[in-house]
Structure 1
Amino acid sequence: MKKFEEKTITTETIYQGKIIDLQVDEVELPNGKTSKRELIKHPGAVAVIALTPERKIVMVEQYRKALEKSIIEIPAGKLEPGEEPDKTALRELEEETGYGCENLEHLISFYTSPGFADELVHLYIAHDIHPILESKETDEDEFVELIEVTVEEALQLIKEQRIYDAKTAYAVQYLQLQGLVGKE
């Protein structure tokens, strides 16, 4: 038995969507009592840190309906069925930014909201990026503007809450810890 395990008694699917599914589980708690858990099931996602030769971070600005505002983020996207995360990372980098890369390195994977969702984000860093000749088109319902910023500028965007998501803040802090602040 796993420590503090909650055993599922029943599962009721409430909604099945294009990106997420919602279910309500009745669970038996470690003390024998029961409770309900509202859970979001997600296929997983990738996010990519891409640095230009000038050490600028390639980002995109896009409108996020859940927040009712535009924010600046690193390129990211959800896994397609059967698609390996590294392939998704390359695809999203190309689609959202028009850049390809010579080497893609997996840094870490992390859960975004483990209290209610199983979304696992795989964070990569793209080495030796270059513009691709035949840029792939973004999704038909996706509108983005390409932005390239220094780590210092990204830190300021975090303070201004223009970078306002965990994956991008994590990426900027990773670069800061790697000593890329103030280097030209």
Structure 2
Amino acid sequence: MIECELTEEQISQETIFEGKIIRVYKDSVRLPNGKSSVREIVRHPGAVAIVPQLDDKILMVKQYRYALAKETLEIPAGKIDPGETPETCALRELREETGYIGDITYIGGFHTSPGFTDEIIHIYQAVNLVWSPLEADEDEFLNVVPVLVQEAMDLVIHNGLHDAKTALGILLTCGGNK
């Protein structure tokens, strides 16, 4: 196999859309072979996801997801606000979505779909939970659902969850607890 330079050089950039959460760009790029191509890129400020463990349960949230036109069962998560650290965001989202505060540990981060977006989600585990609610966002409607750790693992293994951050978060924090 022949190795070659794999980087692409930006030639120009056009803003296609600027929204509340994302920005979409259309970039012209020079490929490693000298030819040009177009890349459509979604820029995202980043997010966090938290696996809150209370005794032998994971506190999950059930909410309606408009893009999917159905309810989903997920771990608490949210967008990082400007100037906010991922850790601060994780503590805020944990309180807003579950009503609990606790000790959090950084598990790792992953890029959701690097073929078209720079979004990164930082995953945290939360333990030693204490009731300390914050008011939920005004456009957010969800129900907290305690799920046994083994039941959550079964949902991951048997494709019962359709949310990548939730499946990965559960695997990374509970995978060895089977």
Unaligned 5+ segments in structure 1 are none
* CA distance 1:177–1:157, shift in 2 (3 Å): closer
Structure 1 residue 29: deviation in Å? 0.4
- In the other structure, the counterpart of 2:139 is 141
Q: What amino acid is aligned across from residue 4 of structure 1 in structure 2?
A: L
TM value normalised by structure 2 = 0.93
Matches of 1:136 and 1:151, distance apart in 2:
25
* CA distance 1:43–1:129, shift in 2 (3 Å): same
Structure 1 residue 65: deviation in Å? 1.1
Of residues 45, 52, 58, the one that matches 1:43 is 45
Q: What amino acid is aligned across from residue 58 of structure 1 in structure 2?
A: L
Correspondences of 1:1-184 after superposition (within 5 Å): 3-52=5-54, 54-101=55-102, 103-132=103-132, 135-158=133-156, 159=158, 161=160, 163-178=161-176, 180-181=177-178
Matches of 2:90 and 2:70, distance apart in 1:
25
Q: Percent identity?
A: 47
Greater shift in the superposed pair: 146-155 or 88-97:
146-155
Q: What amino acid is aligned across from residue 26 of structure 1 in structure 2?
A: S
SS of the residue 2:117 aligns to: coil
Q: Deviations over 1:21-46 (max 9, x none)?
A: 00100000000010000100000000
Contact 1:45 1:119 in 2 (8 A): yes
TM value normalised by structure 1 = 0.90
Unaligned 5+ segments in structure 2 are none
Matches of 1:160 and 1:171, distance apart in 2:
14
Contact 1:24 1:38 in 2 (8 A): yes
Contact 2:153 2:175 in 1 (8 A): no
RMSD: 1.4
Structure 1 residue 96: deviation in Å? 0.3
Contact 2:107 2:173 in 1 (8 A): no
* CA distance 1:160–1:109, shift in 2 (3 Å): closer
Q: How many residues are matched?
A: 174
SS of the residue 2:92 aligns to: helix
